[in-house]
Structure formats: C-alpha cells, structure tokens
Homo-oligomer: A and B are copies of this chain.
Amino acid sequence: MASNYTFSEGTSGITEVPGFKAAAISCDIRGKGNDRLDTALVYSETPCAAAATFTTNDVKAAPVLLDMERIASGAPIHAIVANSGNANAYTGKEGIADAREMAAILANSLGISENSVLVGSTGRIGKAMPMDALRKGIPAAAKNLSTDKDSGKAAAWAILTSDTRPKTATATFEHAGKTIVVSGMAKGAGMIQPNMATMLAFMATNAKLPAATLKSLLQRSVFASFNRITVDGDMSTNDTAVLLANGESGLDETALGTDGMAMFERALLDVCKALAHMMVADGECISKVVTVNITGAKSEADAEKVARAIGNSLLVKSSWFGEDPNWGRLLDAAGYARVGLDPDVLDLSYGEIPVVTNGTPIYDNKPLWKARVSQKAFSVDLDLHMGEAAFTLLASDLTEGYVNYNKSE
C-alpha cells in the first residue's frame, strides 16, 4: 500500500530524485559581462521515459520545435540543457541549428545520443543565441554534474529570468519498501498565461512508467495546474513542461497498483500546482495573488471564459493593486465574457464575505470588502446560478512596477 505521503516546496528540485544529477553555469547569455547563472543541465544516469507538453502558440521557439520532434519519436531522454536570457524564438533556421547544436554539445560531453537531449530556452525573442559562449560553457558544466542538493538548487536558479526566486517542489510516498519521488523546478514571472503547456517546468521521478502513461498523467496535471494561471494574459512562444521517469525505484505500473498510481498522480499534481502557484506569486512585480472561482456555469468552457475575463482585465487588476474593492469592474468583465449570464441572479463574494447576493449588493459589508482585498492573497467567488460547471483561475494584480519593468528589455 502507498503510504507516508510528504510534500514540500523550496527543495533542491530535480536532484531530490535518486539517479538525477544537475549543474549550472554562467555563459553570460545576457551579454552583461556578469557571472549570473544562465545555463542549467539535468542528467539522468539511466535513460528516461519522457512526456512533455508545449505552447500552443503558432509561433514556437526553436527548442520547442526540436523537443516536440524528440518527444514524438518516443526515444528515451537522458539529459536536458536549458538556458535563460535568450528565448531562441523567431530565430529562423539558424535558431533550429543552434538548438540542435546545444543538444549535440551536451551529448558529446556525456557520451550519449544527441536525440536523447532536450533543450529549453527562455528570454528575449528574436535574438541569435551566443553559441560561442555555450560551446565553452556546456562542456564545462557537464563536468560538474552532481547529485548534490546544491547542484539542483543552482539549476533552478539558472533557468530564471525576471523571477525573483527559484521554484521547486517535491512529493514522496512509500510503496513496497521503496520511496517514489516526484520533483521539479520551474520558472515564470512574465508572459504567463499558458495554454496546454506552461513556461519552463522540468520534473522528474524514479517511478518506472512508460512514456504513454507519463503523457496522460502529465496532460491531466498540466491542465489542472499550469493551464489555470495568468499573470499578464500573454502566452509564450517557449512554454514547455517535461516529465522524466528514470525507473530507479523499479516500481512499474503493475507494482504500484491502483493505489500507488493514484498516489503518484496526486504527487505529480501537487508538484505541478505548487510550481504553478509559485509562478503567479512571483509574477513580474505583482503584489497580490487572487484565486478566481467561477461556479454555477453552464459548461466548464463558459466558467473559464468568465474567469479569464476577470483575471486578465486591466481595470480589475489595477484595482486589486490599489486594494480597491471595485467589484463593479469585476462584474463588467464577467459580462463581456458573454456567456449569457443574468446579472439579477448571481452571487459574488470575497471568500465568505458576500458582495452581491441574488443580484443585490450588500453595501453593509463595504468595510469587510476593503479589509479582504487589502490582504496579500484572497479569493473572488462568483456563482452564476446557470448550471453546475466550475473553473478556478489563479491570477495576479497589475502594478506600475510591471509596466515599468516591461517598457524595455
């Protein structure tokens, strides 16, 4: 029986999983002459079954196109090289060649097949990769690959862009005398409204699961985590979530059984949800994390439309920043989602504090509204009373700092 479930954030990420090594190095990809870590390596001593989800943007970065091809081939994955500071997106054939070369450099350094290496990139779009620096940096980093916790932490730092802190989470449970670990690292901050994918998230496990099983588990988890967050409503060209399974535990689907697989899925979902939450909580210059709960919709798609209209409204987000319980803007946004809602029957609350009940504002609660939206995190709960479907979106406010940060690179 699966037992002793644990979950923690702020771990070393990938190196929590037995058999996984990591390393990080500075290649000065931003060209600022400093030694900020910007290139991370992940290596499994044994080849892994792998699954991944990618951005659904029509404009896909070169490493996304490369990884899609490699994941589709079903070949085992041995290693990942991921850089921050340059997205290698909209870089044409040269960009594809650069992504392939990054993988080849790492493959040569490790004596593994080129096709077993995935590549991840994040940063400015439309800029050529500084390949000279990577040709030196990747082999040097490969020599430092280690199972040390510090190596995992360094890798989690190296993939960050405008993030202010690394994002890692780990879940473990015991089964048949073995410990199954699911652990991952991610980066977020800006251009965050993933759809069917996420920004960079690399996860690993020592369960012995085939690619097809990993794929369906990962898709379900991504759908319920990374696909339900927004910072700025901008979907990236580079969104990638990868799950590697090295089988080190020896526990396969049969050995895990129904309850072991259920606990594995819980572990994976918890890791994905935690990483997704960290992305919003560390969104570019944000000051609030707001959970937008839509219930009573006719369909989940309708509930999602309403949630995204609210969570991406500039006026709503600006008022959250100002701690102004300007719920009129929130219902305006709900209305322009145009799911046919009836303003006269809906219920709106901030958690347990009613704002509108059966279409009538409860003005006596005004001081409570203000107190609630002044908290660092709160929820907006809107029941449309049209049906049974629901959707929850994790959103942030919009600050002057965001605009200032993004007015130039």
Contacts and interface: CB of A to CB of B under 8 A. Distances in A.
A406 B328 contact: no
A319 interface: yes
Given A92-B360, A234-B313, A59 B331 contact: yes
A398 B323 CA distance: 20
A327 interface: yes
A407 B343 contact: no
B89 A332 contact: yes
Given A322-B407, A328-B124, A332-B236, A58 B314 contact: no
Interface in A192-218: 195
A60 B323 CA distance: 25
A124 B327 CA distance: 10
A235 to B, nearest CB: 4
A332 to B, nearest CB: 5
A125 interface: yes
Interface residues of A, number: 65
Interface string A386-409: 000000000000111011111111
A9 interface: no
Contacts of A340: 58
A190 interface: yes
Contacts of A343: 58-60, 90
Given A333-B234, A338-B57, A328 B87 contact: yes
Given A234-B314, A313-B234, A339-B58, A407 B360 contact: no
Nearest to A128: B363
Interface in A315-339: 315, 318-319, 321-324, 326-329, 331-339
Contacts of A195: 336
A45 to B, nearest CB: 37
Interface string A232-257: 11111100000000000000000000
A341 interface: yes
30 contacts: A56-B338, A57-B332, A58-B339, A59-B331, A59-B332, A59-B335, A59-B341, A60-B343, A87-B328, A90-B356, A92-B359, A124-B326, A125-B326, A126-B361, A127-B328, A190-B315, A191-B329, A232-B314, A234-B332, A318-B403, A318-B405, A319-B408, A321-B403, A322-B407, A322-B408, A323-B407, A326-B408, A398-B403, A402-B403, A403-B403
Closest 7 CB pairs of A and B: A125-B328, A322-B407, A59-B335, A318-B406, A126-B328, A235-B336, A57-B335
